[in-house]
Structures are given as structure tokens and as C-alpha cells.
Amino acid sequence: MVRRNRSTRCILVLLLTLSLLLTSGCSTSPPANMDWATPTVSATTGIEAEIQDTFDAYAAALVAKDEAGFLATINQENTRFYASQQELFRRLEDVPFDQYRIALESVSESAEGAAVAKVLTTSTLSGSFPGLPQPTRSAYALVRREDGWKLSGDASEQALGRKRDARLEDFGKVLVHESGHAIVLYLAPDAATAARVGGQIDDAYPQLVTALPGVELPRVPVLVFSNQEQLDQAYPGQWQEWVGGASRQLGNSEREGGEIIVQAQVYRETGSYDPDFQSQTIAHELTHIALFPRSGVSTPPLLVEGLADYVAGVEPSPLLAEKLHSGAALSPSLSDLYQPSGFDVLLSNEAAQLAYDEAGTAVAYIERDFGGGKVLALLEEFKRREDDGTDQDQLVDEVFRQVLGTGWADFENGWRQYVLGL
């Protein structure tokens, strides 16, 4: 059960990488977003700057916690929308925004003094990753008043051809729990879960920086959704099954980082029969946050997944040692797992269990016999060489020789002896 869930967690990381090229074994390059409808009328009246000023004031008020300034950007005559925006402000007033940006993508006038604007929205949290992550798309209806343009309705369905994806604040007031290494955003029923997740990130952090010497993370953002229904609305079509926690890449650089997403109901259910799995899940996903910018297209996923399990303290099951003792062929083999698609083609629970056992023990072997920091050095060298076009088998052998002083064949033999001696 636990091993199957850990495989599922890798799949969820893949599914959550919605529009960024993730550079680990749990990654994919998703298709382009093709559902952004083209307006029938293009703006020709030079109103873009005026409307952008309105969005700038709206965003600045959210950061400054200025409710009067926020509501001054809303059309009071649309009483229903005005009330919904007032409620939105109050649901977000505890969120420690450092930056909140709404960039006008295009605007079309539907009538004199009325327009529909398509926008890109993104934000950062104070004390977390400083780089603005990839924005989300939405649209607003606006009307012109004597003192400028005012937001007068959500036009996402009109402009996108569908409703916008839900956000955490759509389900209630967003509360905040800050720990030493996490900023957890959650809803009122999930306060205990939020505190527990924050503590688990704090507990895992020392092992992470021991395994990755010199690497530091700001407070990692965590979103806690209450149940599967909320997740399905926030990430429609992205979830095949759920085990309580997954990581999501927000950008290709360390400045953009990533976030952890928790499904509180399953997280609590899992903890009721396997509390260790909760903490291992969070530590595993925390490691992925650190590895997102340090992994390239040629980085062996066995290093990424193995390091995540190593930091999480996951012990190998007896299956791997049993197969090695019996002389049975491993499927997948350790060599299969240094291919970029190594963790994307696991077709059974046993294959997934073997893959994670192999990867975790490979990293443990490196840590024991080659010294701390060598896994990070391997990652950095693979990242440096990700575009040099070398065949993957040759690349792995060359990088292992350069960093560890041993070629792949000798490394694999040493790893077998390490596992047999456990």
C-alpha cells in the first residue's frame, strides 16, 4: 500500500506540472493552453493604459490590505459583483502577499464605456520564493465611470469559453500558518492539518540541507484543500488518484520555486493508520521543491526520486534484497532508472516498489561510500551538460566517473553489494 502510494505521488507531480518543463523523472512537457478564446473586437481606442491602472490599484490594495482602495476599483452599481469582491477581499486579507500582479493581456470594447479585459494574474508571499511564478488566465468585464474604469464582473467564461479554475479562496476564508520553513494556506476546518504539515516540513528541513550542502530554501508555500471535490475544481482533469500530498513546480529558477499541495481528508485518513507515511510524503515533496531548478532533461530520475526518499527516511522493502539474493532480473533495472523516462513507465505495483527501492538505496550508497555533497555534485554536472547531446548511457558513465571517480558498471556492482549487506 505504501509503496503503491509513493508511485502515485510521482505521477501526481507529473500531472501537476501544468505548463512548465519539469526537469526530473516525474516530469513532462504539457501541451500548450489552447482554450483562450480570441475576442471578436480588438481594442483601438487606447484604453489599455487606463484599464491597467485599475488592475494595478486592485492588486496594490490586496498587498496593502486596503479594503477601501480595493473596493474603489469595483463598480458599485453591480451590487452582486461588488458584494462578491468585498467577500473576496476579506477571504484574502490574512494572506501575506509580497507581490500581486495583474497584467492586461488584451482588451475589447463591447459597447461605449464597456469592455472585456483578459488578464494574467500571479503573486508571491512574503518570506517565500521572490520570483513571480507562471500566471493564471482570467477575464473581467469593466465599465467606465467619471473617476476611471471599474471592474464590473467576471468574464472568464465569456473569454475563455469555460469557467476559470477554482482557487483556495473560492471555498472560504484563507487562513495562514507560518512555521520555520513553510507558509501554509488553509481553510478553517483544516487548522490541525496545516499545523502538522508545517511541523513536518520543519522536521525534514535539516536532513534536506545535509543531503544538499549549501542549498537553502525560503519558506515553502503549501496549499491545503479540504477534499477531493475542491481539488477537482482547482485542477480539473489533472488528478487521477490522490494520496494526500504532491509538489508543483512554479518556475525554472530557484527564485520561482514550487509549492506543496495537500488534500486534507486523505492526509488525515492516511495518518490514522500510517503516521510515518504522512511525514515521509511531506519530506519527499519538500525535496522535489529543492530539486526542481537543479534537475535537467538528462538528469537520471533515480537521483531525484532516490534523494527524495533518502531525505524522507524511507527504508527499502525486503523485495529488492530478495530479488538480488535469488539472482532474479530486476525490472526495472537500476540502469533503466537513469533514463529520463525511467519513472514514467512503471506498469505494476511491484515495478514501482522496486524502482523506489533501487533509487533510494543508490542514493544511500552514494552518501555512505562517496561522501556528503556528491549527489548534489552529480545533479549539478548533469544540469550543466543537459544540452550537450551526449547519448544518455555515455553521459551517465562520464558524469559518474568525473564526480565519483567510478564508471557506471563499477558503481552498479558496488550498489548491489551495498544492498546485499543491508
Cα(15)–Cα(9) distance, rounded to whole angstroms? Answer: 10
pLDDT tens-digit map of 357-401: 999 999 999 999 998 799 999 999 999 999 999 999 999 999 999
Q: Where are the domains of the chain?
A: 1-35+172-294, 48-161, 298-422
Cα(69)–Cα(410) distance, rounded to whole angstroms? Answer: 66
Beta bridge pairs of residue 337 = none
Which amino acid is located at 303 in the chain? L
All three cell numbers of 412: 552498479
Q: Is the pLDDT of residue 57 over 50?
A: yes
> Is 116:159 a contact under the CB 8 Å cutoff?
yes
Cα(66)–Cα(361) distance, rounded to whole angstroms? Answer: 53
The pLDDT > 90 percentage for the chain reads 78
Helix (H) or strand (E) holding 222: strand 220-225
Mean pLDDT of the chain, nearest integer: 88
What average pLDDT does this structure show over 46-59?
96
pLDDT tens-digit map of 208-243: 999 999 999 999 999 999 999 999 999 887 765 556
pLDDT tens-digit map of 83-139: 999 999 999 999 999 999 999 999 998 888 999 999 999 999 999 999 999 999 999
Give the strand order in the sheet containing 245-249: 175-178, 182-186, 220-225, 258-263, 245-249
CB atoms within 10 A of CB 234: 18
What average pLDDT does this structure show over 156-160?
87
Query: What DSSP state is assigned to residue 242?
Result: -
CB atoms within 10 A of CB 272: 8
Query: What DSSP state is assigned to residue 38?
Result: P
CATH class of 48-161: alpha beta
Cα(286)–Cα(307) distance, rounded to whole angstroms? Answer: 11
What average pLDDT does this structure show over 416-420?
96
pLDDT tens-digit map of 300-335: 999 999 999 999 999 999 999 999 999 999 999 999
pLDDT in the model for residue 161:
84
Cα(376)–Cα(392) distance, rounded to whole angstroms? Answer: 19
CA atoms within 13 Å, Cβ hemisphere of 2: 17
> Reduced to 3 states, what is the DSSP secondary structure of residue 392?
helix
Helix (H) or strand (E) holding 258: strand 258-263
Burial class of residue 245, CB neighbours in 10 A (0-12, 13-18, 19+)? buried
> Reduced to 3 states, what is the DSSP secondary structure of residue 308?
helix
State the architecture of 1-35+172-294 in CATH terms: 2-Layer Sandwich (3.30)
pLDDT in the model for residue 364:
97
pLDDT in the model for residue 45:
54
CA atoms within 13 Å, Cβ hemisphere of 84: 13
Strands (E), 93-179: 97-111, 114-125, 136-145, 148-154, 175-178
pLDDT tens-digit map of 33-42: 323 333 333 4
Q: How far is CA 86 from CA 58, 62, 232, 379, in A?
A: 12, 11, 26, 47
pLDDT in the model for residue 4:
33
Q: Is the pLDDT of residue 184 over 80?
A: yes
